[in-house]
């Protein structure tokens, strides 16, 4: 069913003191897959991302990227290999234009052609061409989300992990972000969508996994997950 996994987690566990926030988790993500991750607040989703991207080193288990064990690599090395993430709360560099905001992460990337061209084309791909020379403080909530995605995409990643990229947006705005993510995925990028907006994650994902208290409790297609009794129990009680 799945192509060669681009990402693979084997027995990944993360503790804070004696509290186990995550795991053990086994999870494969296919190259070019659209994977949704759901689960209530505190279920370990962001901790999972932090283990994948290298913010945290798992206490046990391993993370593989394209078959290579990257568990010991620092975050910037993983980013350079092609693992990008957008943050739950966008924090653009203030006092800089939208365009300049992209030049900062580009400093750490190797790209073909000029960095300015790359910045322009990524900003165009998220619909921010008209905002290049505006200060980031002047962006709307939707535009901030787009800039956050653009900053993640500037290094041409193979995997994008979008942590609640649509929180607080209107239905129309959600559609816009979904369009951007679908287009990105069509270009071959695997997208991991962590999202509370259920209809969006269900519409987007080829496969959805659900976490509860740090454990992966269910996996399946959107409709399988919607009908899964364990998932229903987590979200709606008995």
Where on the chain is the footprint of ligand ADP (CB under 6 A)?
A: 16, 21, 39, 41-47
Tell me whether residue 45 or residue 85 sits nearer to ligand ADP (CB atom). 45
Min. distance of Cβ 63 from ligand ADP in angstroms?
A: 16
* Half-sphere exposure of residue 216: CA atoms within 13 angstroms, side-chain side: 18
Strand-strand pairing, 207-212 and 34-38: parallel
Of residues 41-100, those binding Mg ion (CB under 5 A): 45-46
Return the HEC string of 28-43: EEECCCEEEEECCCCC
As a whole number of angstroms, the distance between CA 104 and CA 17 comes to 35
26: enclosing H helix or E strand? strand 19-30
- 108 contacts which partner out of ligand ADP, Mg ion, none, CB within 5 to 8 A by kind? none
- 5 contacts which partner out of Mg ion, ligand ADP, none, CB within 5 to 8 A by kind? none
Does 136 bind Mg ion (CB under 5 A)? Our answer is: no
Helix residue ranges, H only, the chain: 45-53, 75-81, 98-106, 115-125, 141-153, 171-186, 198-204, 222-227, 229-236
Min. distance of Cβ 214 from ligand ADP in angstroms?
A: 7
Of residues 196-225, those binding Mg ion (CB under 5 A): none
Min. distance of Cβ 34 from ligand ADP in angstroms?
A: 20
Tell me whether residue 85 or residue 131 sits nearer to ligand ADP (CB atom). 85
What are the residues binding Mg ion (CB under 5 A)? 45-46
């Amino acid at each position: 069913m799945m192509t060669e996994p681009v990402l693979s987690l084997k027995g990944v566990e993360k503790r804070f003191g004696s509290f186990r926030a995550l795991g053990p988790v086994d999870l494969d993500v296919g190259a070019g897959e659209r994977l949704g991750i759901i689960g209530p607040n505190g279920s370990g989703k962001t901790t999972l991302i932090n283990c994948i991207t290298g913010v945290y080193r798992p206490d046990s288990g391993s993370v593989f990227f394209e078959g290579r064990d990257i568990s010991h690599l620092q975050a910037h090395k993983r980013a350079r290999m092609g693992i990008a993430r957008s943050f739950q709360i966008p924090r653009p560099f203030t006092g800089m234009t939208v365009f300049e905001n992209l030049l900062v992460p580009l400093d750490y990337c190797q790209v073909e052609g000029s960095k300015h061209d790359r910045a322009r084309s990524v900003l165009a791909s998220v619909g921010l061409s008209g905002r290049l020379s505006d200060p980031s403080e002047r962006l709307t909530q939707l535009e901030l989300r787009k800039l956050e995605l653009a900053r993640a995409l500037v290094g041409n990643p193979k995997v994008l992990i979008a942590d609640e990229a649509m929180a607080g947006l209107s239905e129309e705005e959600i559609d816009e972000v979904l369009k951007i993510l679908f287009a990105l995925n069509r270009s071959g990028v695997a997208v991991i969508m962590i999202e509370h907006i259920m209809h969006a994650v269900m519409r987007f994902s080829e496969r959805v996994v659900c976490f509860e208290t740090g454990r992966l409790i269910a996996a399946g297609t959107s409709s399988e997950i919607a009908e899964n009794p364990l998932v229903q129990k987590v979200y709606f009680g008995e």
